[in-house]
Amino acid sequence: MTETTIRFATADDAQVIHVFIQGLAEYEREPDAVRATPSSIKAQLQLQRPPFECLLAESDGEVRGFALFFHNYSTWRGKQGIYLEDLYVPDQHRGSGIGKLLLSTLARIAQNRGCSRLEWQVLDWNQPAIDFYENLGAKVMNGWLPCRLQGPELSALAAEGATVT
């Protein structure tokens, strides 16, 4: 088996990150939902404080998976955490240990940064992913439902907000 290495993505990796984001959107049955572009990803990674970080898994000179994440904060624990936005390994590389290596590396980063937890979401129909996560010791948080405002609903609510001084 070829050794897989994990590294942090740079702005030069924007194209491959975009390919993985698009692949994940297709897997999650939302192929037309992606608005990010390679140029927007590159520009964000070039910021002094990028809004996200990304790990890339490489084997034989090929990027074979990614984990895109950012910090969040737990008021109950009084510490920051890491939120895994996307984990993706293309079909042809699944089952090779890349997903587990990405998650275990991210867990190590969380511990090294003093984070109290690592969180993410999984679609309720994605039983292979649920099984994978549970086999790693993750707890699927039944009873917690994600909420989202975007587009016109976000704009409508924002119009009712106060100006912060």
133 flagged as catalytic: yes
**Residue bearing tokens 């679609």:** 123
**Residue bearing tokens 């790693």:** 136
Neighbours of 101 (CB within 10 A): 18
Among the listed residues 27, 73, 88, 133, the single catalytic one is 133
Amino acid at 17: I
Residue 93 CA: distances (Å) to CA of 52, 65, 98, 128, 138 = 24, 8, 8, 15, 22
Closest CA relative to residue 68, chosen from 49, 48, 50 = 50
* Residues noted as catalytic: 133
